[in-house]
Structure 1
Amino acid sequence: MMSLPAHLQIEFTLETAAHDEAVEALSAEAFGPGRFTRAAARVREMTPHDRSLSFVAMRGAEFVGSVRQTRVMVGTRPAVMLGPLAVKPAFKGKGAGRALMAMAADAARLAGETAIFLVGDRAYYMPLGYEPLPARSVLMPGPVDERRILGLALVPGALQGLSGAVGPR
């Protein structure tokens, strides 16, 4: 896990129900009302995120950021959909998001998951090990820019053949 500058004093913990309101408020701030029309939101309507794979960042009592993961099927294969990842503007670029991503990947790997996918910005996620998935391989339940569907293999070869409609497990 990466280390953050000590002066930030950020602590990372598993998400609990007590964080729901703060996560929703941050998601609203980061992604606006349009977030509900996105394909990833359609997936989250089908099945809830998994708190054992989701984390928050706190600075004392101040909520700094969060990452959520949802166990899904991609065709006939289990996978994890990551998102949303959100960090308060004052903490962007300081490593909190990258730390949350590392924790999420580690938790998924330890839980026996083999692959994570997300819909996101290549410039941010590719340096974290994510790679573009082939066009029309992961079929989201709604419109999505396929160039933004990225995957992370948690075991060698886990992204090969990952294809099909995304749905609940």
Structure 2
Amino acid sequence: MAEIAQEQPGDHHEVEALYDLCFAPGREALSSYRLRDGVPPEAELCLVARGRAGEAAGAIRTWPVRVGDHAALLLGPVAVHPTRQGEGLGGLLIFEVIERARMAGHPRMMLVGDAPYYSRFGFSRLDGVLMPPPTNPERVLGLALQDGAWDGIGGEVTRAADPTD
């Protein structure tokens, strides 16, 4: 199917080209991108799936954010090359990131997406968690990586501080 490995610095331009191919122009204007600006991603949770010829067939990135006073991971974007869609590669990348995040001890993960698709990975709607506008609250989903990790957690999702700030 594909070999999955941690994204390396030399993969950056190829992964960005894949995101450009898979998403509409202006993707970086979305509210979730404002939470990523100037903040390095969680490197160990950024993965690339490579096909037999070594091409980037899929990619996923994960970013630190704050929900109120609590740390969380923001999953996404996830992209699969159009010629590889329908093979389950996106799901494989998501499951792999979830497992790696659990093993690393992260308590909670969230994303903005379609509940019917992401519920199969364990994500459900987060009531009281507010993404920057104009995000539809119905699309704000979370997954507890540790038991009860979302219990009592709410508030605005904000940018995590850059360690170099």
TM-score by length of 2: 0.90
Aligned residues: CA RMSD = 1.3
The structure 1 segments of at least 4 consecutive aligned residues displaced by more than 4 Å after TM superposition are none
Equivalent residue number for residue 28 of structure 2: 36
Residue 117 (structure 2) pairs with residue 148 (structure 1): no
What do residues 32-55 of structure 1 show as CA deviations (whole Å, max 9, x unaligned)? 222111111111114121111111
Equivalent residue number for residue 23 of structure 1: 15
SS of aligned partner of 1:162: coil
What do residues 55-75 of structure 1 show as CA deviations (whole Å, max 9, x unaligned)? 110013111011100112111
What do residues 108-163 of structure 1 show as CA deviations (whole Å, max 9, x unaligned)? 111110110000122221111111111xx222233201111111111111122221
CA contact (8 A) 1:48 1:70 kept: yes
Which runs of structure 2 are paired with 1:41-56 in the superposition (5 Å)? 41-56=33-48
Residue type of the partner of 2:151?
A: Q
| Distance in 1, Cα, partners of 2:6 & 2:22 | 21
| Distance in 2, Cα, partners of 1:138 & 1:18 | 35
Equivalent residue number for residue 94 of structure 2: 101
CA contact (8 A) 1:38 1:142 kept: no
One of 93, 101, 110 as aligned partner of 2:103: 110
| Distance in 2, Cα, partners of 1:138 & 1:25 | 31
SS of aligned partner of 1:108: helix
Aligned length: 159
| Distance in 2, Cα, partners of 1:165 & 1:46 | 19
Which runs of structure 2 are paired with 1:69-148 in the superposition (5 Å)? 69-134=62-127, 137-148=128-139
What 5-or-longer segments of structure 2 have no aligned partner? Answer: none
